[in-house]
Amino acid sequence: MAKDIIIELKDVWKIYKMGDVEVPALRGLNLQVKRGEFLSIMGPSGSGKSTAMNMIGALDVPTKGSIYLDRRDISTFSESDLSQLRGKKIGFIFQQFNLIPTLSALENITLPMIFQNISTGERREKAQKLLEMVELGDRVHHKPTELSGGQQQRVAIARSLANNPEVVLADEPTGNLDSKTGNTVMDFLKKLHRKEGKTIIMVTHDPNVAKHADRMEYLYDGTIKANNS
C-alpha cells in the first residue's frame, strides 16, 4: 500500500437487517484518501454518505470488507481499540454541532482531552489557543445557547482539533448555516487543510460546498460512481 495513502476502504459492505429484510447501505465501496488531502463525498439522501462516514471514522464496522487507517485494518479492532483510535487520530465536525449545552465553549473543547489523560492546565491552555484560532477568544465562557450557529460550528471545529488528529471528518458542516456563515466555516476548514496540513473528508449534498475540496467523489446506491459522472 502506498505510503501517502492514510485511509483505504476495500470492498466495504454494510448491510442492515430489518426483520427478515436485508438493506444494503454500502455495496462494495472502494475509496483511497491521501495524507493531507481535502476530499468531499457528495450524494443524494439515502446514497450511503453517513454510513460511509461512520466507517471512515471508526464509528461502525463493516458487514464485510476492510478499512485501513495508516495501513492497519481497523475493521478487525475491538470497540475499546476503536474508541482509543477515534480519540487520537480522528476529529469530528457534525451538522448539528453536538455541543453540550451546559458547558462553556472552553469546556466543550477540553472534553475530548480528558479521555486522553491530559492535565487540567494543559487542557485549558490548548482550548484557549484553539478558540483564538477560530476567532472566538472572547467567547471562552459563553455557552452554546449564547452563540450564533456559525460560532457554535467554529467551537465544534476547535473541539475536533483538541487531540491534534491526523484526519478531520466533517458531516454536512454547513447544513444548518446560512450561505454567508457557511462560507466562513469553509474558510476555516480550508485553513486547516492548507496551513495545518490536516486530511479533511467532508460529506455534503451541496455542490457549492463540495467545490472547496481538492477532489470530489460521488456516492450513489452505496458505491462510488465512476468518473464522477
pTM: 0.89
Closest C-alpha among 121, 132, 125 to residue 157: 132
pLDDT of residue 132: 94
**pLDDT at position 82:** 87
For residue 1, what pLDDT is reported? 47
Report, as an integer, the average pLDDT of 112-117.
87
* Rounded mean pLDDT, 92-111: 93
Q: What pLDDT digit, counting tens, does each position of 49-76 carry?
A: 989 999 999 888 899 999 999 888 998 8
Burial per residue of 93-120, b for 16 or more beta-carbon CB atoms within 10 angstroms, e otherwise:
bbbebebeeeebbbbbbbbbbeeeebee
Is residue 161 within 8 Å of 168, Cβ to Cβ? yes
Q: What is the mean pLDDT of the chain?
A: 91
Instruction: Say what angle helices 149-160 and 120-133 make with each other, to 10 degrees.
Output: 130
Residue 210 pLDDT level (bands cut at 50, 70, 90): very high
**Residue 117 confidence class, pLDDT cut points 50, 70, 90:** confident
Helix (H) or strand (E) holding 25: strand 21-34
Please name each of the domains of the chain with its CATH number.
Answer: 36-59+83-228 (3.40.50.300)
Residue 21: phi, psi to the nearest 5?
Answer: -100, 135
Which cell goes with 172? Answer: 454536512
**What pLDDT score does 3 carry?**
56
Burial of 66 from C-beta contacts in 10 A (0-12 / 13-18 / 19+): middle
Q: Residue 161's pLDDT band (boundaries 50, 70, 90)?
A: very high
Residue 141: band (very low, low, confident or very high) from pLDDT cuts 50, 70, 90: very high
The CA–CA distances, whole Å, from 214 to 36, 172, 194, 217 equal 10, 17, 11, 10
pLDDT at 115: 83
Query: How far apart are the C-alpha atoms of 106 and 20, rounded to whole Å?
Result: 47
Contacts of 215 (CB under 8 A, 6+ apart): 37, 38, 39, 40
**Residue 163: per-residue pLDDT:** 92
